[in-house]
Amino acid sequence: MIIDDLAELLSKFPGIGPRQSRRFVYFLLRQNRNYVEQLARSILELKKETAICTECHQFFPDTVSKKLCRICSNSARDRSTLMVVEKDVDLENVERTGVYNGVYFVLGGTVPLTNEEPEKFIRLNDLLARTKNGTEKDSLSEIILATNATTEGDHTADYLHSKLALFATNENVKITHLGRGLSTGTELEYSDKETLRSALSNRK
Ligand SMILES: [Zn+2]
């Protein structure tokens, strides 16, 4: 029935289990028609009105099929520094704090500890292509591996480091990691301005 079907769809959301997804369905049933219709419309339009930036691979609002997000198309950004983050929300949070003026690359995930098919979980080939052929390739001097301070985040940074090492040596590009003044387990998504500023200035 419809309640089960919708609950099943919602249970696929990150961090949402079957019990929570049923609570969402009953919440929707209690809302007025306007709210539910607006929600349904927004979901339909979400895919239509967003695109993935061809340079940093973040999702961005796009109704005129531009290729670049507002960060990658901004000539005032410092193209000598490329920050590699796990997810769109990490990029959003760093932007919100305003402490970083370089450019980004969104991996889209982390490498599993088993190391099985890493390229299925992160945009490794796009990252390699970006560092080698991106618009900043001539000015690129540093890649900051800003994965989260979690076991998988650290593992992903190590993996990327090994994949980028040869390129970095040949092109004289520094590979750095965010400083860890913070307790283990801290995620970029939740870091405040001061924490990020200190993590950036203590990168090595
Ligand atoms: Zn971009």
Instruction: Tell me the per-residue pLDDT of 8-28, one tens digit each, with 9 for 90 and over.
Output: 999 999 889 999 999 999 999
Q: What is the pLDDT of residue 204?
A: 85
74 C-alpha to ligand 1 centroid (Å):
9
Block mean pLDDT (10 aa), the chain, length 204: 95 92 97 96 91 93 81 93 95 93 95 85 91 73 92 92 90 88 64 85 86
Q: What is the pLDDT of residue 134?
A: 65
Q: What is the pLDDT of residue 202?
A: 85
Q: What is the CA radius of gyration of the chain?
A: 19
63 C-alpha to ligand 1 centroid (Å):
15
Closest CA to 77 of 69, 66, 86: 69
156 C-alpha to ligand 1 centroid (Å):
21
According to DSSP H, which parts of the chain are helical?
Answer: 2-10, 18-30, 33-48, 88-97, 124-133, 151-171, 193-201
87 C-alpha to ligand 1 centroid (Å):
13
| pTM of the predicted structure, to 2 decimals | 0.83
Instruction: Tell me the per-residue pLDDT of 165-203, one tens digit each, with 9 for 90 and over.
Output: 998 888 899 999 988 765 544 678 878 888 888 888 888
60 C-alpha to ligand 1 centroid (Å):
8
76 C-alpha to ligand 1 centroid (Å):
14
Between CA 79 and CA 65 the distance in angstroms is 23
169 C-alpha to ligand 1 centroid (Å):
26
54 C-alpha to ligand 1 centroid (Å):
7
133 C-alpha to ligand 1 centroid (Å):
15
77 C-alpha to ligand 1 centroid (Å):
11
Q: What is the pLDDT of residue 84?
A: 96
Burial of 68: CB neighbours in 10 Å, binned 0-12, 13-18, 19+: middle
Between CA 124 and CA 156 the distance in angstroms is 11
